[in-house]
Amino acid sequence: AGAVEGDLVEVLFTEKQIVDRLAELAAEVDRDYEGKDLVIVGVLRGAVMVMADLARALDRHVEMDWMAVSSYGSGTKSSGVVRILKDLDSDISGRHVLIVDEIIDTGLTLSWLTSNLSSRGPASVEILTLLRKPEALQMPVDVKYVGWDIPNEFVVGYGLDYRERYRNLRDIGTLAPHVYS
Ligand code: PRP
Ligand code: MG
Protein backbone atom coordinates (compact mmCIF):
# COMPACT_ATOMS: atom_id res chain seq x y z
CA ALA A 1 0.00 0.00 0.00
CA GLY A 2 1.19 3.51 -0.78
CA ALA A 3 1.32 6.53 1.51
CA VAL A 4 -2.35 7.27 1.00
CA GLU A 5 -3.81 3.79 0.56
CA GLY A 6 -2.21 2.79 3.89
CA ASP A 7 -4.80 4.87 5.76
CA LEU A 8 -7.62 2.59 4.62
CA VAL A 9 -8.75 -0.06 7.08
CA GLU A 10 -10.82 -1.88 4.49
CA VAL A 11 -11.17 -1.64 0.73
CA LEU A 12 -14.82 -1.84 -0.25
CA PHE A 13 -14.45 -1.44 -4.00
CA THR A 14 -11.28 -1.68 -6.03
CA GLU A 15 -10.46 0.48 -9.01
CA LYS A 16 -11.21 -2.47 -11.29
CA GLN A 17 -14.56 -3.22 -9.67
CA ILE A 18 -15.53 0.43 -10.02
CA VAL A 19 -14.52 0.74 -13.66
CA ASP A 20 -16.25 -2.55 -14.51
CA ARG A 21 -19.48 -1.50 -12.79
CA LEU A 22 -19.42 1.88 -14.54
CA ALA A 23 -18.96 0.10 -17.86
CA GLU A 24 -22.12 -1.91 -17.13
CA LEU A 25 -24.03 1.26 -16.28
CA ALA A 26 -22.64 2.99 -19.38
CA ALA A 27 -24.00 0.17 -21.54
CA GLU A 28 -27.42 0.73 -19.99
CA VAL A 29 -27.15 4.46 -20.65
CA ASP A 30 -26.12 3.79 -24.26
CA ARG A 31 -29.19 1.64 -24.71
CA ASP A 32 -31.67 3.88 -22.86
CA TYR A 33 -30.63 7.10 -24.60
CA GLU A 34 -30.06 5.72 -28.09
CA GLY A 35 -30.80 8.38 -30.69
CA LYS A 36 -31.30 11.06 -28.02
CA ASP A 37 -29.31 14.18 -27.26
CA LEU A 38 -27.67 13.62 -23.86
CA VAL A 39 -25.94 15.96 -21.41
CA ILE A 40 -24.26 14.43 -18.38
CA VAL A 41 -23.92 16.81 -15.45
CA GLY A 42 -21.22 16.11 -12.88
CA VAL A 43 -21.61 17.46 -9.36
CA LEU A 44 -18.32 19.04 -8.33
CA ARG A 45 -16.12 18.05 -6.76
CA GLY A 46 -16.78 14.46 -5.76
CA ALA A 47 -18.12 13.31 -9.11
CA VAL A 48 -14.98 14.07 -11.10
CA MET A 49 -13.71 10.48 -11.14
CA VAL A 50 -17.10 8.94 -11.89
CA MET A 51 -17.66 11.39 -14.74
CA ALA A 52 -14.25 10.63 -16.23
CA ASP A 53 -14.71 6.87 -16.18
CA LEU A 54 -18.40 6.83 -17.09
CA ALA A 55 -17.95 9.20 -20.02
CA ARG A 56 -15.09 7.16 -21.44
CA ALA A 57 -17.16 3.99 -21.16
CA LEU A 58 -20.01 5.48 -23.18
CA ASP A 59 -20.14 4.52 -26.84
CA ARG A 60 -21.84 7.67 -28.07
CA HIS A 61 -21.50 11.44 -28.25
CA VAL A 62 -22.24 13.14 -24.98
CA GLU A 63 -21.87 16.65 -23.62
CA MET A 64 -20.16 16.94 -20.23
CA ASP A 65 -21.24 19.84 -18.07
CA TRP A 66 -20.66 20.60 -14.38
CA MET A 67 -22.37 22.14 -11.41
CA ALA A 68 -21.01 23.08 -8.02
CA VAL A 69 -23.45 23.43 -5.15
CA SER A 70 -23.11 24.15 -1.48
CA SER A 71 -25.31 24.00 1.57
CA TYR A 72 -26.20 27.16 3.44
CA GLY A 73 -25.48 27.59 7.10
CA SER A 74 -23.02 25.96 9.41
CA GLY A 75 -21.66 23.37 7.04
CA THR A 76 -24.44 20.91 7.72
CA LYS A 77 -26.87 19.85 5.07
CA SER A 78 -29.74 19.46 7.49
CA SER A 79 -31.42 22.66 6.36
CA GLY A 80 -31.92 21.17 2.93
CA VAL A 81 -31.12 24.54 1.43
CA VAL A 82 -28.62 24.52 -1.37
CA ARG A 83 -27.04 27.32 -3.35
CA ILE A 84 -25.36 27.23 -6.72
CA LEU A 85 -21.62 28.01 -6.70
CA LYS A 86 -21.16 27.19 -10.37
CA ASP A 87 -24.05 26.79 -12.75
CA LEU A 88 -24.25 24.83 -15.98
CA ASP A 89 -22.59 26.40 -18.99
CA SER A 90 -25.25 24.98 -21.31
CA ASP A 91 -28.95 25.56 -21.75
CA ILE A 92 -30.62 22.21 -21.08
CA SER A 93 -34.12 23.06 -22.29
CA GLY A 94 -35.46 20.30 -24.49
CA ARG A 95 -32.46 18.09 -23.79
CA HIS A 96 -32.01 14.85 -21.88
CA VAL A 97 -30.03 15.38 -18.67
CA LEU A 98 -28.30 12.74 -16.58
CA ILE A 99 -26.96 14.00 -13.25
CA VAL A 100 -23.85 12.10 -12.17
CA ASP A 101 -22.61 11.89 -8.59
CA GLU A 102 -20.45 9.48 -6.67
CA ILE A 103 -22.66 9.11 -3.58
CA ILE A 104 -26.16 9.75 -2.32
CA ASP A 105 -26.09 10.12 1.43
CA THR A 106 -29.05 12.06 2.85
CA GLY A 107 -30.32 12.72 -0.66
CA LEU A 108 -30.59 16.46 -0.07
CA THR A 109 -28.09 17.47 -2.75
CA LEU A 110 -29.60 15.47 -5.58
CA SER A 111 -33.18 16.00 -4.50
CA TRP A 112 -32.62 19.75 -4.73
CA LEU A 113 -30.59 19.53 -7.92
CA THR A 114 -33.16 17.37 -9.66
CA SER A 115 -35.94 19.82 -9.01
CA ASN A 116 -33.73 22.78 -9.92
CA LEU A 117 -32.75 21.29 -13.28
CA SER A 118 -36.29 20.04 -13.93
CA SER A 119 -37.52 23.64 -13.76
CA ARG A 120 -35.41 24.54 -16.80
CA GLY A 121 -37.56 22.66 -19.28
CA PRO A 122 -35.37 19.67 -20.09
CA ALA A 123 -36.73 16.68 -22.01
CA SER A 124 -35.85 14.53 -18.97
CA VAL A 125 -33.76 14.56 -15.81
CA GLU A 126 -32.38 11.34 -14.34
CA ILE A 127 -29.69 10.42 -11.81
CA LEU A 128 -26.71 8.10 -11.90
CA THR A 129 -24.81 7.53 -8.67
CA LEU A 130 -21.98 5.15 -7.99
CA LEU A 131 -22.94 4.67 -4.33
CA ARG A 132 -26.07 5.09 -2.28
CA LYS A 133 -26.65 4.78 1.47
CA PRO A 134 -30.29 3.72 1.87
CA GLU A 135 -30.11 3.98 5.67
CA ALA A 136 -29.01 7.63 5.53
CA LEU A 137 -31.71 8.88 3.15
CA GLN A 138 -33.73 11.84 4.40
CA MET A 139 -35.24 12.93 1.10
CA PRO A 140 -36.75 10.64 -1.51
CA VAL A 141 -34.54 10.57 -4.60
CA ASP A 142 -35.55 8.75 -7.74
CA VAL A 143 -32.33 7.17 -8.99
CA LYS A 144 -32.20 5.58 -12.43
CA TYR A 145 -28.72 4.05 -12.21
CA VAL A 146 -26.90 3.00 -9.02
CA GLY A 147 -23.57 1.24 -8.77
CA TRP A 148 -23.97 -0.18 -5.29
CA ASP A 149 -26.02 0.34 -2.15
CA ILE A 150 -23.73 0.47 0.89
CA PRO A 151 -24.16 0.54 4.67
CA ASN A 152 -24.17 3.86 6.48
CA GLU A 153 -20.38 4.02 6.93
CA PHE A 154 -17.98 6.84 6.17
CA VAL A 155 -16.17 6.04 2.94
CA VAL A 156 -13.34 7.77 1.09
CA GLY A 157 -11.53 7.51 -2.21
CA TYR A 158 -12.41 7.85 -5.87
CA GLY A 159 -13.66 11.41 -5.35
CA LEU A 160 -14.89 10.94 -1.79
CA ASP A 161 -13.00 13.01 0.75
CA TYR A 162 -12.30 13.28 4.44
CA ARG A 163 -11.38 16.93 5.07
CA GLU A 164 -10.42 17.28 1.41
CA ARG A 165 -8.04 14.35 1.50
CA TYR A 166 -8.32 10.90 -0.06
CA ARG A 167 -10.23 12.01 -3.16
CA ASN A 168 -7.30 10.80 -5.23
CA LEU A 169 -7.37 7.22 -3.96
CA ARG A 170 -8.05 4.75 -6.76
CA ASP A 171 -10.12 2.46 -4.52
CA ILE A 172 -13.03 3.19 -2.20
CA GLY A 173 -12.70 2.17 1.42
CA THR A 174 -13.14 2.98 5.06
CA LEU A 175 -10.58 5.01 6.99
CA ALA A 176 -8.48 3.62 9.80
CA PRO A 177 -9.44 5.06 13.20
CA HIS A 178 -6.01 6.67 13.70
CA VAL A 179 -6.78 9.06 10.85
CA TYR A 180 -9.62 10.66 12.80
CA SER A 181 -7.64 11.22 15.98
C1 PRP B 1 -20.95 15.00 -1.17
C2 PRP B 1 -21.08 13.97 -2.26
C3 PRP B 1 -22.46 14.20 -2.80
C4 PRP B 1 -23.22 14.68 -1.58
C5 PRP B 1 -24.08 13.58 -1.04
O6 PRP B 1 -20.63 16.22 -1.76
O7 PRP B 1 -20.10 14.20 -3.27
O8 PRP B 1 -22.46 15.20 -3.80
O9 PRP B 1 -22.24 15.04 -0.58
O10 PRP B 1 -24.63 13.94 0.20
P11 PRP B 1 -26.19 14.17 0.42
O12 PRP B 1 -26.92 13.06 -0.28
O13 PRP B 1 -26.32 14.08 1.91
O14 PRP B 1 -26.57 15.50 -0.11
P15 PRP B 1 -20.18 17.47 -0.90
O16 PRP B 1 -21.33 18.42 -0.80
O17 PRP B 1 -19.59 17.01 0.39
O18 PRP B 1 -19.07 18.18 -1.79
P19 PRP B 1 -17.92 17.53 -2.67
O20 PRP B 1 -18.56 16.80 -3.81
O21 PRP B 1 -17.13 18.70 -3.14
O22 PRP B 1 -17.13 16.60 -1.79
MG1 MG C 1 -20.50 16.09 -4.06
Going by alpha carbons, the residue nearest to atom 13 of ligand 1 is: 106
pLDDT band at 34 (very low <50, low <70, confident <90, very high): very high
Ligand 1 pocket by Cβ (under 6 Å):
43-46, 77, 101-109, 161
**Do 160 and 105 meet the contact criterion of CB atoms below 8 Å apart?**
no
For the chain, domains (ranges, CATH) are: 15-152 (3.40.50.2020)
How does residue 124 score in pLDDT terms, banded at 50, 70 and 90? very high
Kindly list the catalytic residues. Answer: 105
Q: Is 12 left (phi over 0), alpha (psi -120 to 50) or beta?
A: alpha
What is the rounded average pLDDT of the residues 6-18? 95
| ipTM beyond cut 0.95 | yes
- Res 79 pLDDT > 70: no
Q: Is 55 helix (H, G, I), strand (E, B) or coil?
A: helix
- Name the residue of 50, 82, 105, 127 to mutate for ligand 1: max ligand atoms within 8 A of Cβ: 105
**Is 64 in contact with 55 (CB distance < 8 Å)?**
yes
73 torsion bin: left (phi>0), alpha (psi -120 to 50), beta (else): left
Question: Sign of dihedral through CA atoms 68, 72, 75, 79?
Answer: negative
User: Residue 142: is its pLDDT beyond 80?
Assistant: yes
Contacts of residue 65, Cβ cutoff 8 Å, sequence gap at least 6: 39, 40, 41, 42, 88, 89, 90
- How far is Cα 76 from Cα 150, in angstroms, rounded to an integer? 22
The predicted pLDDT at position 177 comes to 82
pLDDT bucket at 181, cuts 50 / 70 / 90: confident
